[in-house]
DNA sequence: TGCTCAATTTGACACCGTGTCAAGTTGACA
DNA sequence: TGTCAACTTGACACGGTGTCAAATTGAGCA
């Protein structure tokens, strides 16, 4: 609990995150993390009971995840509900590639999955709340499609954001992140907004 | 090359698939596959050089994957382009849960990923062609949104089908497969069809 | 200066899963 | 009866995780 303890711990987490982000494809070993953190492999177990827990902690520790809610809060400049929707989808589209390593970390633990998932469920709830807030604004503005209630609209948006194949599209289909963002925007507007604006 | 060889080989693939489908969460070991197939662990290596290749072969071997194209061909009863779109999305939504084990198999090989992916890329191209065909029909019928060209529309549909969080929605958000299907349908219609029909 | 205590290191080891190897067994077929 | 390929058996190397016990380091304190 001393500051030294805390420093070593965070040094480990930072090291793990660096490797998850960088060494794309290669599995991240405990010995790798130890070397990156500048300590011995066994010392890792003084701070984390198992590799899986270390990786979960890593994903929860990085700034991008800790600041998830603020990252996904659209700028104050968005006045109308539709603008707010656009800003929200944009924020999400820019956010996803930044936390690429998180997916790898979660993937690295098939059977500890349940544990990792429950740790992540709360975070994801925050995103869903964001969807609900955006839909509420859109509804207040009268911009929401008349045939949708807010719950259904929230579901649609939430589902849309769960398109996880960004990587696939970019890698295998030659998409750019811009194309991805535009597609998200087009889908979101088409699904939710009464009079969808054309490009 | 004898029929005996073929039988053993397919027995192995069937065994692997059974385990991938059944033992949810648990990793599938070579010894498990051998036991399930009723042969010795070492004999697996007489048919497949490595575990990763065995798993890739397994995913490509199952009927649901071999018949992917026909499975995703909407019934002849669909007359209009819009009906055909609906049928296509429905077919996809019903198909995905059936090949659940495939995701696990592909996941089970992080670094062989590149190999597995290229083996799967061709299959996925078939789905994309399906999207293009549906969009073409819709366009011919005059049901496609005027602001979309066929390429863009195909991209939208293709992206939509890539929503991979079906499991997540069902498990963590209490969705039913029906809710998933409805959402897909709503998104597809909203994104592509000129005058989206309401429920 | 020397004591203490916690964090850390070092080296060794058990366990498990993959992949390999060599020698033996089985059974179909000529 | 002999041959050949498929398969079995038992042994083993390798690499990764997790554990343990015995040093070592170093900061705070008498």
The CATH number linked to A27 is 1.10.10
B159 and A169 in contact by Cβ < 8 A? yes
A109 and A148 in a single domain? The answer is yes
How far is residue A62's CA from residue A17's CA, in Å, rounded to a whole number? Answer: 8
How far is residue B103's CA from residue B95's CA, in Å, rounded to a whole number? Answer: 13
- Tell me which chain B residue has its CA closest to the CA of residue A125: B173
Nucleotide nearest to A45 (CA to C1'): D18
Here the ipTM equals 0.79
A74/C14 CA-to-C1' distance in Å: 54
Report residue B142 as tokens: 């005059």
Number of domains in chain A: 2
φ and ψ at residue A77, rounded to 5 degrees: -70, -20
Residue A185 counted as domain residue: yes
A146 and A87 in a single domain? The answer is yes
- The model's pLDDT over A120-158, given as tens digits with 9 standing for 90+, comes to 777 778 888 889 999 999 999 999 998 888 998 998 888
Residue B162 counted as domain residue: yes
B93 and B44 in a single domain? The answer is no
Q: CATH number for the domain including B91?
A: 1.10.357.10
Contact of A37 with A11, CB cutoff 8 Å: yes
A120 and A158 in a single domain? The answer is yes
A162 and B156 in contact by Cβ < 8 A? no
CB contacts < 8 Å between A and B, how many?
87
B41 and B69 in a single domain? The answer is no
A78 and A32 in a single domain? The answer is no
How far is residue B110's CA from residue B16's CA, in Å, rounded to a whole number? Answer: 18
Residue A197 counted as domain residue: no
Nucleotide nearest to A7 (CA to C1'): C7
Name which of B124, B169, B191 is nearest A186 (Cβ-Cβ): B191
Collapsed DSSP state (helix, strand, coil) of residue A188:
helix
B159 and A172 in contact by Cβ < 8 A? no
Q: Which of A172, A190, A194 to probe the B interface (max B CBs under 10 A)? A: A190
Those nucleotides of strand D lying less than 7 Å from any protein Cβ are 6-11, 16-21
Q: With bands split at pLDDT 50, 70 and 90, how would you rate the model's confidence at A96?
A: confident
Report residue A153 as tokens: 């609209």
CA proximity to B16, closest of B101, B96, B98: B101
A111 and B155 in contact by Cβ < 8 A? no
B68 and B108 in a single domain? The answer is yes
The parent domain of residue A178 ranges over: 64-192
Residue B85 counted as domain residue: yes
Output the CA–CA distances (angstroms, integers) from residue A177 to A152, A166, A167, A172, in the order listed: 28, 8, 9, 13
A73 and A158 in a single domain? The answer is yes
A88 and A150 in a single domain? The answer is yes
How far is residue B157's CA from residue A109's CA, in Å, rounded to a whole number? Answer: 32
Residue A199 counted as domain residue: no
Tell me the pLDDT of chain B (199 aa) as tens digits: 434 445 899 999 999 999 998 876 678 999 999 999 999 999 999 999 999 899 989 988 888 777 888 888 766 777 788 999 999 998 888 888 788 778 777 776 654 556 666 667 777 788 888 899 999 999 999 999 988 889 889 988 888 887 655 666 666 666 777 888 888 888 888 889 987 544 4
- Tell me which chain B residue has its CA closest to the CA of residue A191: B190
B129 and B185 in a single domain? The answer is yes
Residue B114 counted as domain residue: yes
3-state helix, strand, coil in chain B (%, to 5): 70, 0, 30
How buried is residue A44: exposed, middle or buried, by Cβ count under 10 Å (0-12/13-18/19+)? buried
How far is residue A160's CA from residue A185's CA, in Å, rounded to a whole number? Answer: 10
**Chain A residues whose C-beta sits inside 8 Å of any chain B C-beta:** 25-27, 107-108, 110-111, 113-114, 117, 121, 124, 145, 147, 152, 155-156, 159-160, 162-165, 168-169, 172, 179, 183, 186-187, 190-192, 198-199
């Amino acid at each position: 609990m001393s500051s030294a303890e805390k420093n070593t711990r965070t040094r480990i987490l930072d090291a793990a995150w660096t490797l998850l982000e960088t060494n794309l494809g290669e599995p991240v070993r405990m010995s790798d993390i130890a070397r990156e953190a500048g300590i011995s492999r066994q010392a890792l177990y003084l701070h984390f009971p198992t590799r899986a827990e270390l990786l979960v902690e890593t994903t929860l520790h990085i700034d991008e995840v800790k600041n998830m809610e603020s990252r996904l809060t659209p700028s104050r400049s968005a006045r109308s509900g539709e603008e707010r929707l656009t800003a929200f989808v944009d924020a999400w589209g820019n956010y996803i590639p930044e936390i690429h390593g998180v997916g790898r970390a979660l993937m690295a633990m098939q059977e500890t999955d349940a544990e990792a998932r429950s740790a992540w469920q709360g975070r994801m709830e925050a995103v869903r709340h964001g969807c609900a807030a955006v839909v509420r604004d859109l509804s207040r503005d009268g911009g929401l499609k008349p045939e949708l209630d807010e719950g259904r609209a929230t579901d649609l948006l939430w589902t849309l954001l769960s398109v996880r194949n960004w990587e696939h599209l970019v890698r295998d289909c030659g998409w750019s992140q811009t194309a991805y963002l535009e597609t998200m925007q087009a889908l979101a507007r088409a699904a939710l907004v009464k009079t969808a604006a054309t490009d």
